[in-house]
Amino acid sequence: MFDSLTDRLDDVFRKIRGHARLTEENVQTALREVRLALLEADVNFKVVKDFVERVRERAMGQDVLKSLTPGQQVVKIVHEEMIELLGGQAQELDLKASPAVIMVVGLQGSGKTTTCAKLALKLRREFKRKPYLVPADVYRPAAIDQLHKLASQLDIPAFPSTPDQNPVDICLAALEEARRSGHDVVLLDTAGRLHIDQTLMDELAAIKAGTNPGEILFVADAMTGQDAVTVAAAFNERLDVSGIVLTKMDGDARGGAALSVRQVTGKAIKFVGTGEKVADLEVFHPDRAASRILG
């Protein structure tokens, strides 16, 4: 998905890498190209501005390392700043409590239900945990069925929620049931709406207060670009989320959301969804993503 950005930056870097001497002018030219490439990839304007400024400051202020040409050094700085922009180190999940609660939130259609099932599978396979799935979206009855279907396909137990129940009650009862039946991670699939909505936010805040989740993961559809970033900021402001899952990274999204969401919210991207199948969820590694972008 970062392909066009990669091609574009590759051209810029090919030109600059060979320079034995860097002048303020050719750094400016290169950074102008970097700026354009990022904007075309739909990265938030302010994020691009700050990014280019940081690279410029470091490039101009630094002694040239003997082992690198000045051109290579600029490329190195862009690479390091790109890793920083994407969040530095890969972030682990907080699964200390028993059962640990992971609350999954986001707009309708962003991929919450699918992500809950994918995470449950990953937690069982790779973290050797015993997950318990909780359908708590009572407004879209199909969501409950959808999670139950995925749960039985994966052979992971799910709480028997019904649409007439209150979502906070469902989550509390499910937590009790998970404790009783020896499950050590509870995944709460909460309701979404098409747009940010006060009633929904109040309900999510009540679920948070009642269940004390170690993780609140905001699910963002990468295909929605800048919108994903705006919505993430709103959810984060109300719920103080602990991390972000970017879904549909297998589509032709231009990467802007991935590059902006961390900077705008201050929260790490923890996972990326890379397809519709239950195994299509990857831990997000900022360094690998930066390398992929910069070639």
Query: Can you list the positions of beta strands (E) in 34-184?
Result: 100-105, 131-136
Instruction: Return residues touching ligand GDP (CB under 6 A).
Output: 106, 108-114, 143, 192, 247-248, 250-251, 273-276, 280
Q: Is 112 annotated as a binding residue?
A: yes
* 137 Cβ contact list (under 8 Å, min separation 6): 112, 113, 143, 144, 167, 189, 190, 191, 192
Give 241's DSSP letter.
Answer: -
* CA atoms of 215 and 129, how far apart (whole Å): 15
**What is the nearest approach in angstroms of ligand GDP to the Cβ of residue 48?**
25
**What is the nearest approach in angstroms of ligand GDP to the Cβ of residue 195?**
13
Q: Is 230 annotated as a binding residue?
A: no
SS3 content of the chain, % helix, strand, coil (to 5): 55, 15, 35
* CA atoms of 70 and 62, how far apart (whole Å): 10
| Nearer CB in complex with ligand GDP: 136/268 | 136
**What is the nearest approach in angstroms of ligand GDP to the Cβ of residue 193?**
10
Contact criterion met (CB below 8 Å) for 93 and 271: no
Helix (H) or strand (E) holding 219: strand 215-221
Q: Is 158 annotated as a binding residue?
A: no
**What is the nearest approach in angstroms of ligand GDP to the Cβ of residue 247?**
4
C-alpha closest to that of 59 among 49, 40, 73: 73
| Nearer CB in complex with ligand GDP: 20/194 | 194
| Nearer CB in complex with ligand GDP: 184/189 | 189
| Nearer CB in complex with ligand GDP: 13/132 | 132
Q: Is 240 annotated as a binding residue?
A: no
Q: Which residue is nearest to ligand GDP (CB)?
A: 273
| Nearer CB in complex with ligand GDP: 71/255 | 255
**What is the nearest approach in angstroms of ligand GDP to the Cβ of residue 72?**
36
* CA atoms of 7 and 3, how far apart (whole Å): 6
Q: Is 107 annotated as a binding residue?
A: yes
The first and second tokens of residue 58, run together, are 């470091």
Report whether the peptide linkage leading into residue 99 is cis, meaning its omega lies within 30 degrees of zero: yes
| Nearer CB in complex with ligand GDP: 118/208 | 118
Q: Is 111 annotated as a binding residue?
A: yes
Q: Is 221 annotated as a binding residue?
A: no
**What is the nearest approach in angstroms of ligand GDP to the Cβ of residue 274?**
6
Sheet with 269-273: strands ordered across: 131-136, 185-190, 100-105, 215-221, 243-247, 269-273, 281-283
Q: Is 90 annotated as a binding residue?
A: no
| Nearer CB in complex with ligand GDP: 18/141 | 141
The first and second tokens of residue 156, run together, are 């992971």
**What is the nearest approach in angstroms of ligand GDP to the Cβ of residue 80?**
29
C-alpha closest to that of 95 among 210, 291, 243, 203: 243
Q: Is 109 annotated as a binding residue?
A: yes
Annotated binding site for GTP: 106-113, 189-193, 247-250
Annotated binding site: 106-113, 189-193, 247-250
